[in-house]
């Protein structure tokens, strides 16, 4: 049961840079791939004698999306020289393998690339690579959907011989993280972000620090966030750190998914133990699970799936997270028995997924709700499900309102529209408690103006951490490390705000 090996691909332009980059890459890499096709007149004796890690020598021709344009005989001779000088691995393309003559003890990686798709006959291709003399067959294909990864995972699980299997492209990124989980001999990483040798490659420091790829094994449990888009999600940072802190053999990845029901059907067989569901799949995911927890069924949306005994159950942790964050701010010492929301006038702006979850939670606690939404249709639909009053946001602001609690559950004010606010300052009066579900930025314009007018406030971060902590607890049965989670999200959001200003 080998743990995940990370091989950093270097496309250094010359020998001097190659030597410096090898030394730097060694911090995160178990192996180093020298892409000799990027290098001007590589000095192989110097490079190989200074290698800090085992090396794969590769010289990819243009026809295989490499940079090498010279004669084929010289390309093969360069690889034979690398073998002679002691390189641990030589990578040669399937159509050139028969020309390569072994000159040393390197293990031969015979590689097959499909830059357009993931072909159906992966077994046949694997057999051809073996017949061509591969010690380690390598199949790298292009993923057009998340389920293309499954074809490669399936092959990796079945073959006996050490094999490398990865998918290129944004949909294939998870294969670069989960390679070892399914038995790939290694995963390739870029030296730094922006220096990828293939589409979808992830930088080695991220594979190691964020996903702890070096500790992924065949018994590592898989979790992730299912969304589209999903690359911006903070959840992998927070959940991987929480798994690490609890010493759990689990990894959490971003699943870029087009069809959530198909995704759940496919990944059931590949060790998916749970996931977070985000925009735009919270409603459609109901169709992909075996059971739905009753409140989530009423809300009509799930943000969490838990696998137990091969069955998926859908939950909604947004609801309790928001209500708990509001109650914590309303509660006075010594009045802990009933919900402080009981009988309170609660104006909820927004009737999307978050609005629905918050409204159902507030109603459960006895709050008196008014839904105010930009579009009439959605406001009416939610109000009819809840049997409460609804109004358009425009009318609300025209006629004014009185509220004990004002909730923004709309996207107004969310990054990048940070100067937007759903409710202008003139409507904000103490002692109204103002809660903004938006957490990026941490301090929205609504919260800033509410604070300036003396209103108590609750930020979307309080809800975000609570919903994530509840997910962690459902998945693991352990208490969530909330302070750690909050610290990570705060740091990430503050960095994003600084980067956006620069």
Interface contacts to ligand NAP, rule CB under 6 A: 279, 318, 350-355, 373-375, 378, 393, 409-412, 414, 420, 422, 437-439, 460, 463-464, 467
Backbone angles phi, psi at 97, to 5 degrees: -60, -35
What is the DSSP-derived secondary structure letter of residue 257? -
Query: Considering the complex, what minimum distance in angstroms separates the CB of residue 325 from ligand NAP?
Result: 8
Q: Which is nearer to ligand NAP, 223 or 464 (CB)?
A: 464
Angle of helix 482-501 relative to helix 235-245, nearest 10 degrees, comes to: 150
Give the whole-angstrom CA distance, residue 236 versus residue 276.
Answer: 10
Identify the active-site residue in 28, 281, 282, 344: 282
User: Residue 282 catalytic?
Assistant: yes
Nearer to ligand NAP, 48 or 485 (CB): 485
> Of 11, 28, 113, 281, which is the active-site residue?
113
How near is the Cβ of 464 to ligand NAP at its closest, in Å? 4
Contact 79/59 with Cβ under 8 angstroms? yes
| Helix or strand (DSSP H, E) at 6 | strand 6-10
Phi, psi for 271 (deg, rounded to 5): 80, 25
Is 431 within 8 Å of 376 (Cβ atoms)?
A: no
Q: Catalytic site residue 113?
A: yes
Q: Are 263 and 257 in contact (CB under 8 A)?
A: yes
In the complex with ligand NAP, the residue whose CB is nearer, 6 or 403, is 403
Cβ proximity to ligand NAP: between 131 and 491 the closer is 491
Q: Which is nearer to ligand NAP, 92 or 371 (CB)?
A: 371
380 noted as active-site residue:
no
DSSP for 284-341, written as a single string: GGGGGSSEE-HHHHHHT--SEEEEETTEEEEE-HHHHHHHHHHHHHHPPTT--SS-TT
Question: Cα(473)–Cα(436) distance, rounded to whole angstroms?
Answer: 24
Residue 411 vs 453, nearer CB to ligand NAP: 411
Among 138, 239, 315, 344, the active-site one is 138
CB of 193 to ligand NAP, least distance (A): 25
Partners of 108 in beta bridges: 90
Question: Nearest to residue 213, comparing CAs of 166, 155, 253?
Answer: 253
Q: How far is the CB of 254 from ligand NAP (least distance, A)?
A: 16
Tell the smallest beta-carbon distance from residue 421 to ligand NAP (Å).
Answer: 9
Pick from 262, 258, 323, 268: nearest CA to 295: 323
Q: How far is the CB of 177 from ligand NAP (least distance, A)?
A: 24
Q: How far apart are CA 407 and CA 359, in angstroms?
A: 10
Phi/psi of residue 378, each to 5°? -70, -35
Minimum Å gap between C-beta 262 and ligand NAP is: 22
- For ligand NAP, the closer of residues 89 and 439 by Cβ is 439
How far, in Å, CA of 413 to CA of 235, rounded? 21
Residues 422, 434: Cα–Cα separation, whole Å: 12
CB 142 within 8 A of CB 107: no
Catalytic residue numbers read 113, 138, 282, 318
């Amino acid at each position: 049961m080998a743990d995940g090996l990370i091989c950093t691909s270097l496309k250094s332009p010359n020998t001097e840079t190659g030597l410096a980059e090898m030394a730097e890459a060694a911090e995160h890499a178990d192996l180093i791939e020298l892409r000799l096709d990027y290098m001007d007149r590589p000095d192989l004796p110097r490079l190989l004698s200074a290698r800090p890690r085992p090396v794969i020598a590769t010289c990819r021709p243009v026809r295989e999306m490499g940079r090498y344009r010279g004669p084929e005989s010289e390309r093969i001779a360069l690889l034979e020289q690398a073998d002679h000088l002691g390189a641990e691995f030589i990578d040669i393309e399937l159509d050139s393998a028969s020309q390569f003559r072994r000159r040393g003890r390197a293990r031969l990686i015979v590689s097959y690339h499909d830059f357009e798709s993931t072909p159906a006959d992966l077994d046949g291709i694997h057999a051809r690579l073996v017949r061509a003399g591969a010690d380690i067959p390598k199949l790298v294909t292009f993923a057009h959907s998340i389920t293309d990864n499954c074809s490669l995972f399936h092959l990796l699980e079945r073959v006996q011989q050490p094999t490398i299997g990865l998918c290129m492209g944004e949909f294939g990124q998870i294969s670069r993280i989960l390679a070892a989980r399914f038995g790939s001999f290694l995963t390739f990483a870029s030296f730094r972000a922006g220096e990828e040798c293939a589409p979808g490659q992830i930088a080695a420091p991220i594979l190691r620090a964020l996903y702890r790829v070096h500790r992924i094994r065949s018994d590592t449990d898989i979790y992730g966030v299912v969304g589209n888009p999903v690359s911006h999600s903070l959840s992998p940072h927070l959940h991987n750190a929480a798994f690490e802190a609890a010493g759990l053999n689990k990894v959490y990845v971003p699943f870029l998914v087009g069809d959530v029901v198909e995704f759940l059907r496919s990944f059931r067989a590949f060790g998916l133990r749970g996931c977070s569901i985000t925009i735009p799949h919270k409603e459609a995911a109901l169709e992909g699970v075996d059971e739905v927890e009753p409140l989530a069924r009423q809300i009509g949306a799930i943000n969490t799936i838990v696998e137990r005994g091969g069955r998926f159950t859908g939950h909604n942790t947004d609801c309790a997270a928001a209500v708990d964050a509001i109650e914590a701010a309303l509660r006075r010492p010594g009045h802990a028995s009933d919900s402080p929301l009981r009988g309170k006038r609660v104006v909820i702006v927004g009737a999307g997924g978050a609005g629905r979850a918050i409204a159902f939670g507030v109603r459960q606690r006895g709050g008196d709700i008014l839904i105010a939404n930009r579009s009439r249709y959605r406001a009416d639909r939610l109000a009819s499900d809840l049997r409460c009053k609804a109004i358009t946001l425009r009318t609300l602001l025209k006629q004014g309102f009185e509220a004990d609690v004002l909730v923004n559950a709309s996207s107004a004010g969310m990054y990048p529209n940070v100067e937007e606010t759903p409710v202008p300052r003139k409507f904000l009066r103490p002692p109204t408690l103002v809660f903004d579900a938006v957490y990026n930025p941490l301090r929205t314009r609504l919260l800033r103006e509410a604070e300036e007018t003396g209103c108590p406030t609750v930020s979307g971060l309080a809800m975000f951490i609570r919903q994530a902590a509840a997910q962690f607890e459902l998945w693991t049965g352990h208490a969530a490390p909330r302070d750690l989670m909050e610290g990570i999200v705060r740091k990430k959001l503050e960095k994003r705000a600084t980067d956006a200003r620069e």
